[in-house]
Amino acid sequence: MLKNFKSMDSVDQDKKKMYYAVFFPIIICLFVLLVFVFERGMGFDFREAGIFPREPRTLVNIFSMPFIHSDWTHLLNNILSFFVLCTSLYYFYSEMANKILVLSVIISGLLLWVIGRDAWHIGLSGIVYSFIFFLFFSGIVRKHVPLIAIALVVVFLYGNNVWHLFPWQKVDPISWEGHLAGAVSGTLLAVIYRKQGPQKPVKIWEEEEEEEDVNEETRENTFENGIENEQNLNRE
């Protein structure tokens, strides 16, 4: 009965964890979609809310850049990838997900501001690449089976994205610098915070084996002491 109760409680906790992991990414994706629809519907141009590298006045735009997109294709590609990766982050790394999200925005944005070409850079793709590399390298360095499995799924789904880390054309419309900045930030975060969040479980059986050895030794000593006491009594 107690085991069944604990099992039900565990299921409820998993459900709550999943709801939370899905809810937050949905809110962000909906907000990005609303910004795009509002921009197009009202005839505005929010491009200057993006980053123009080494232009001091646009440095603060590292926080607004992820919400701006050039067209529907750009928007849908980014929010779909963001939703999948952000949900994975909040489910498997729930204790540190907020920290990783904020630092991904800041670090990838700062790197892009430093290394980017002279053009307006917009979109969620820097954060998407940060999540890809964080989930992959975190799974590898932690050596925990569920996290390694997620790392392999990420490689399967987004492995081809590695080709967008470098320029392939003289005039490349894709911000490969933003992708590269995101990849660097995700890798750094995976290494820096490798000791935080979920970890590979310690093997309990080793501790149990040591306890059994101690108990066996105690029993042997007790038995030997009992024999000695009996012999002493017989002598008396």
Residue 89 lies in a domain: yes
Q: Does the residue 198 lie in any domain?
A: no
**37 and 114 assigned to the same domain:** yes
- Whether residue 138 is found in the same domain as residue 207: no
Residue 121 bridge partners (DSSP): 51
Query: What is the average pLDDT across 114-142?
Result: 95
- pLDDT tier at 202, thresholds 50, 70, 90: confident
Task: Please enumerate in sequence order all residues whose Cβ is within 8 A of that of 79, keeping only pairs 6 or more positions apart, or say none.
Answer: 29, 32, 33, 124
Cβ distance 121 to 110 under 8 Å?
no
pLDDT(125) > 90: yes
CA 205 to chain centre: 30
- Domain around 226: 203-236
Examine the domain organization and report whether 155 and 229 are in the same domain: no
- What CATH number has the domain bearing residue 118? 1.20.1540.10
Q: Which of 184, 178, 176 is nearest to 133 (CA)?
A: 184
Q: Is 88 in the same domain as 34?
A: yes
Let me know whether 116 and 50 are in one domain.
yes
pLDDT value of position 148: 92
pLDDT above 90: residue 185: yes
Asked whether residue 98 falls in the same domain as residue 186, the answer is yes
168 & 221 share domain: no
Residues 27 and 77 in one domain: yes
| Least confident span in 36-40, 54-58, 191-195, 221-225 | 221-225
Number of domains in the chain: 2
Cα–Cα distance, 58 to 48 (Å, whole number): 8
